[in-house]
Amino acid sequence: MTERSRDDLKGVTEKLRQADAVIIGAGAGLSTAAGFTYAGERFQKYFQDFIDQYGFSDMYSAGFYPFETPEEHWA
């Protein structure tokens, strides 16, 4: 690490300490990179009722299903 990058890091660290909040914008792939999976045991455990009713095989494709009501969509 160079002297300049150390100084930059110290500056960022101080700004973070002073901040009331930090907003992180993230795009597609962040959850997958963190090990989050869209199918399998976890999906079956928490979404079995939707699997049974709609035949979903994973959370990703379920997000594009044309639900009839907003309540059903956000459930």
DSSP string, the chain: --HHHHHHHHHHHHHHHH-S-------TTHHHHTT--SSSHHHHHHHHHHHHHH----HHHHTT---SSHHHHH-
pLDDT in tens, 62-75: 888 999 999 988 88
- Structure confidence at residue 18 (pLDDT): 96
Residue ranges covered by each domain of the chain: 3-74
pLDDT at 59 over 80: yes
pLDDT confidence bin for 56, thresholds 50/70/90:
very high
